[in-house]
């Protein structure tokens, strides 16, 4: 079985082992693959592992030996799954491996914004606190999360994990979800999307990218939010219209945003959010704790073994 890993560095920059995957066949591992290198590297492959290298219908036409693609992530929109199915190629993903890590990042952003952690660290290092006449120095508004309203858009695994943390902080939790009231615990209240944006102090996005959710957060919706509101996006970049969000931040329409994903990654130098007021950006790392990457690697191994044993699991193109 010939196995090719096209972009292994993101998930394993050297602190994990490929040995078990290498034991499953003749395995070639590339840290990164440019578009023009892709087909040459996988022309004889039976198994391809990819995180962000895409495959479309014309690619499958040129890969007669291909039997399986393992996406090294939960989202699999980089693969034309219908074309894969038409060519008899099984496609799997890695579900739920980063749930707790992403939920943790939501609150890392939220706590940094509400407590100005980085700001005060910088101030202390620059000697501002040392020169202050009082024992306590502050020049920003500090915000307590207790009893604040948090609106969760999408109540899948990550959304539910965020809700559990929010409940621990004593927040009032609302969710926009297809689940019925009867499927929700009493601490989570179902809310219409427009009402959620209008009434909540914090809105955090946990929905997949679909034609319906693209630009879900736009100028019109941002105008309905409180001027003190905080937006968190750890889902997919295009769920937010970035120019509209930058304008809303710069104009004071909303207070702040914490984002871990952008519409183009790495970030384009002219992305308006890079210079927007009170916009805190992390470079798509919410998923990337070592613990989450260990789980990703193990599920990848389990997926390949199940496929070889002709009992595939986590298939996304049945």
Question: Residue 262: which residues within 8 A CB-CB, separation 6 or more?
Answer: 237, 242, 268, 271, 273, 281, 284
Grouping H, G, I as helix, E, B as strand and the rest as coil, residue 46 is coil
User: 187 near 167, Cβ under 8 Å?
Assistant: yes
Tokens at 248, concatenated? 């809303």
Query: Can you count the helices (H) and strands (E) in the chain?
Result: 11, 12
Query: Crossing angle, helix 157-168 and helix 99-115, to 10 degrees?
Result: 40
37 has catalytic annotation = no
What secondary structure does DSSP assign to 260-294, as a single string? S--SSSSPPTT-GGGGSTTEEE--S-TT--HHHHH
| Alpha-carbon Rg for the chain in angstroms | 22
- Quick check: is 284 catalytic? yes
The CA-CA-CA angle for residues 133, 134, 135, to 5°, reads 130
- Is residue 236 part of the annotated active site? The answer reads yes
Which is catalytic among the residues 109, 206, 221, 284? 284
DSSP3 helix / strand / coil % (the chain, rounded to 5): 35, 15, 50
Q: Which of 37, 187, 265, 291 is catalytic?
A: 265
SS (H, E, C) 77-111: CCECHHHHHHCCCEEECCCCCCHHHHHHHHHHHHH
118 closest CA partner among 315, 274, 218, 258: 258
Q: Which of 236, 242, 293, 295 is catalytic?
A: 236
Which positions are annotated as active-site residues?
236, 265, 284
């Amino acid at each position: 079985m010939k196995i090719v890993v096209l972009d292994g560095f993101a998930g394993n920059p050297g602190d994990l082992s490929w040995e078990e995957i290498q034991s499953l066949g003749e395995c070639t591992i590339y840290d990164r693959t440019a578009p023009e290198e892709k087909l040459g590297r996988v022309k004889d492959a039976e198994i391809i592992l990819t995180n962000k290298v895409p495959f479309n219908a014309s690619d499958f036409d040129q890969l007669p030996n291909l039997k399986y693609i393992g996406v090294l992530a939960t989202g699999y929109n980089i693969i034309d799954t219908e074309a894969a199915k038409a060519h008899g190629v099984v496609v799997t993903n890695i579900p739920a491996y980063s749930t707790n890590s992403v939920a943790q990042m939501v609150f890392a952003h939220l706590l940094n914004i509400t407590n100005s952690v980085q700001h005060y660290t910088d101030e202390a290092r620059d000697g501002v606190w040392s020169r202050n006449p009082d024992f306590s120095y502050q020049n920003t508004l500090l915000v307590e999360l207790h009893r604040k309203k948090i609106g969760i858009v999408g109540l899948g695994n990550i959304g539910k994990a965020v809700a559990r943390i929010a409940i621990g902080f004593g927040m009032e939790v609302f969710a926009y979800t297809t689940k019925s009231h009867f499927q929700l615990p009493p601490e989570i209240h179902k809310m219409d999307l427009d009402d959620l944006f209008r009434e909540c102090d914090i809105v955090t996005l946990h929905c997949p990218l679909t034609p319906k959710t693209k630009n879900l957060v736009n100028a019109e919706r941002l105008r309905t939010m409180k001027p003190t509101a905080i937006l968190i996006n750890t889902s997919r970049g295009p769920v937010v219209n970035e120019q509209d969000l930058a304008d809303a931040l710069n104009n004071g329409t909303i207070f702040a945003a914490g984002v871990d994903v952008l519409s183009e990654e790495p970030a384009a130098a002219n992305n308006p959010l890079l210079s927007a007021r009170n916009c805190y950006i992390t470079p798509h790392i919410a998923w990337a704790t070592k613990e989450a990457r260990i789980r990703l690697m193990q599920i990848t191994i389990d997926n390949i073994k199940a496929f070889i044993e002709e009992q595939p699991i986590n298939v996304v193109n049945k």
